[in-house]
């Protein structure tokens, strides 16, 4: 067995152990029930690695992964060894733990997971809180340990779900960013924007700084008002950024403002210049690319756009950006999680999709294809149920005919199943 094969075997074995744990990414989150004590206890047993690097902590309903990628790319361009912790992954778990734009090696990720699992087992043995650590608690702890041991100086850390009770909130970010709020994961976070803003904004520590693109809302449900009250209570500084334009541009601008803010409080590049938005150049753009977001493929002469947008606002913005580039209405291959706002997402496609191919995934808490198709038909969409994602994509490609195009969207799990097929087919088409 080669060294690479042994590393892959070791990583697979670690995930086999991980997969016996509670995994809220793959469960119905309506019964979400957790606290931070398990992950905090795991981290203490690992020597508090979260204190050995500086961090920008990013939450939000949409755009947080892209914003993290841009911030880390800017920090890399400044000369720092910069990490990104993101979730979920699309094709390989290495995507979750990246250093200077590259996923860590199998051996590195395996070692981090093994140490985190050992800490949990020690908690089981002595009755410590670590014994109750979940799948996400452990991969978060492993990521922080990897950053510390690999000499990462700055990390952009993406919240998994919510913020206040998310595993990543075991660290204090020197700067916290809240991209936006929308109705998502309502079973876990509630169905009011002010409540969701409180949950997501609660990553800001006492005396911290929260940078946000959240806008003023209605008098009786104002997310910005909730953030103002939260920051006042924690004596934290709130910086509100007015954002406009397509979602991708807003994400980049928020990252630029984050770098500007770090520069304003004295963070410098390795050459002694203030940190700032000028670092987000073409080289940074290449470092900031992430799988499953804004990816174009050409398959047998048919343009295919892959983006895991799963919130109505994200999908609407995506369609607005694509409209000038791709003529006509697309064939849409879509899967949605059980806890998403299905009606709102599907309504975004009315008048903008030729046909909707409703599918699902072998992993993740997703709606059944027929259930999703029924919901799509109920709001007036022409929908076909096809449980096999690959068959759904093949049918959409065939239906696109001459001059049409295909949009694959709605779920990172769907993106993970179809991206290898798209990559292979696009290479064959060249």
pLDDT, tens digit (0-9, with 9 covering 90-100), for 120-132:
999 999 999 999 9
**Confidence (pLDDT) at 27:** 55
Q: Which position has the higher pLDDT, 13 or 401?
A: 13
**Confidence (pLDDT) at 362:** 80
Q: Which position has the higher pLDDT, 235 or 290?
A: 235
Residues of the chain with CATH 3.40.1190.10: 3-287
Q: Which position has the higher pLDDT, 259 or 317?
A: 259
**Confidence (pLDDT) at 189:** 66
* Cut 0.85: pTM above it: yes
Q: For residue 336, give the 3-state DSSP assignment.
A: coil
- For residue 28, the Cα-to-chain-centroid distance in whole angstroms is 18
What mean pLDDT comes out for the span 91-103? 95
pLDDT, tens digit (0-9, with 9 covering 90-100), for 216-237:
988 889 999 999 999 999 999 9
pLDDT at 137 over 60: yes
pLDDT, tens digit (0-9, with 9 covering 90-100), for 374-386:
999 999 999 999 9
Q: Which position has the higher pLDDT, 144 or 188?
A: 144
Sign of the dihedral defined by the CA atoms of residues 267, 273, 275, 279, in that order: negative
Output the average pLDDT for the chain: 92
Q: For residue 154, give the 3-state DSSP assignment.
A: strand
Query: How far, in Å, CA of 164 to CA of 168, rounded?
Result: 9
Do the beta carbons of residue 84 and residue 155 sit within 8 Å? yes
What mean pLDDT comes out for the span 96-116? 97
Phi and psi at 205, nearest 5°, equal -80, 170
Question: Burial of 134 by CB count in 10 Å (0-12 exposed, 13-18 middle, 19+ buried)?
Answer: buried
The strand pairing partners of 406, in sequence order, are 304, 331
**Confidence (pLDDT) at 247:** 83
Helix axes 247-264, 64-77, angle to 10 degrees: 50
Do the beta carbons of residue 367 and residue 336 sit within 8 Å? yes
DSSP 279: G
Predicted confidence band of residue 245 (pLDDT cuts 50, 70, 90): confident
Query: How far, in Å, CA of 344 to CA of 272, rounded?
Result: 48
What mean pLDDT comes out for the span 5-32? 81
pLDDT at 1 over 90: no
Q: Lowest mean pLDDT: which of 45-49, 150-154, 244-248?
A: 244-248
| pLDDT more than 70, % of the chain | 95
Q: For residue 314, give the 3-state DSSP assignment.
A: helix
Q: For residue 357, give the 3-state DSSP assignment.
A: strand
**Confidence (pLDDT) at 188:** 58
Q: Which helix (DSSP H) or strand (DSSP E) does residue 139 occupy?
A: helix 135-149
- Strand pairing report for 175-178 and 209-212: parallel
Contacts of residue 355, defined as CB under 8 A and 6 or more positions apart, other chains included, come to 331, 332, 382, 383, 384, 396, 399
Query: How far, in Å, CA of 276 to CA of 335, rounded?
Result: 38
Q: Lowest mean pLDDT: which of 168-172, 255-259, 285-289?
A: 285-289
Number of residues that make up the chain: 430
pLDDT at 28 over 60: no
- Looking at CATH, the fold of the domain delimited by 295-429 is given as 3.90.190
Do the beta carbons of residue 392 and residue 329 sit within 8 Å? no
Q: Lowest mean pLDDT: which of 105-114, 207-216, 306-315?
A: 306-315
What mean pLDDT comes out for the span 283-293? 91
What mean pLDDT comes out for the span 14-33? 73
What mean pLDDT comes out for the span 332-342? 89
Do the beta carbons of residue 346 and residue 375 sit within 8 Å? yes
Specify the CATH class of 3-287 in words.
Answer: alpha beta
Residues of the chain with CATH 3.90.190.20: 295-429
- The tokens 């913005």 sit on which residue? 317
pLDDT at 30 over 80: no
- The tokens 């755009």 sit on which residue? 63
424's tokens = 């292979």
**Confidence (pLDDT) at 430:** 43
What mean pLDDT comes out for the span 163-179? 97
């Amino acid at each position: 067995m080669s060294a690479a094969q042994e590393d892959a075997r070791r990583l697979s074995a670690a995930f086999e152990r991980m997969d016996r744990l509670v995994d809220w990414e793959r469960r119905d989150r309506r019964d979400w029930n957790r606290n931070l004590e398990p992950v905090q206890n795991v981290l203490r047993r690992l020597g508090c690695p979260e204190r050995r690097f500086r961090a920008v902590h990013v939450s939000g309903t949409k755009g947080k992964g892209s914003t993290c990628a841009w911030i880390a790319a800017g920090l890399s361009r400044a000369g720092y060894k910069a990490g990104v912790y993101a979730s979920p992954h699309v094709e390989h778990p290495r995507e979750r733990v990246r250093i200077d734009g590259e996923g860590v090696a199998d051996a590195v990720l395996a070692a981090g997971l093994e140490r985190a699992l050992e800490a949990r087992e020690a908690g089981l043995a002595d009755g410590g809180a670590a014994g109750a650590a979940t799948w996400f608690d452990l991969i978060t702890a492993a990521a922080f340990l990897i950053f510390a041991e690999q000499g990462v100086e700055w990390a952009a850390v993406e919240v998994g779900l919510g913020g206040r009770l998310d595993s990543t909130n075991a660290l204090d970010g020197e700067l916290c960013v809240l991209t936006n709020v929308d109705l998502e994961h309502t079973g876990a976070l509630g169905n009011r924007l002010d409540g969701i803003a409180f949950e997501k904004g609660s990553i800001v520590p006492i005396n911290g700084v929260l940078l946000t693109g959240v806008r003023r809302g209605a008098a009786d449900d104002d997310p910005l008002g909730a953030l103002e009250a939260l920051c006042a209570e924690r004596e934290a500084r709130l910086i509100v950024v007015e954002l406009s334009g397509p979602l991708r541009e807003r994400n980049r601008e928020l990252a630029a403002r984050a770098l500007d803010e770090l520069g304003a409080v004295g963070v410098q590049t390795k050459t002694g210049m203030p940190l700032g938005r000028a670092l987000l150049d073409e080289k940074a753009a290449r470092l900031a690319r992430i799988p499953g977001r804004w990816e174009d493929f050409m398959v047998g002469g048919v343009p295919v756009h892959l983006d895991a947008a799963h919130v109505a606002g994200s999908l609407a913005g995506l369609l607005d950006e694509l409209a000038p580039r791709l003529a006509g209405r697309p064939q849409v291959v879509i899967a949605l999680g059980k806890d998403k706002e299905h009606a709102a997402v599907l309504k975004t496609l009315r008048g903008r999709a030729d046909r909707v191919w409703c599918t699902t995934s072998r992993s993740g808490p997703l709606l059944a294809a027929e259930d999703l198709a029924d919901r799509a038909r109920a709001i007036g969409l022409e929908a076909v149920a096809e449980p096999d994602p690959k068959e759904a994509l093949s049918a959409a490609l065939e239906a696109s005919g001459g001059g049409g195009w295909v949009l694959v969207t709605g779920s990172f799990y769907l993106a993970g199943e179809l991206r290898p097929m798209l990559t292979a087919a696009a290479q064959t088409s060249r």
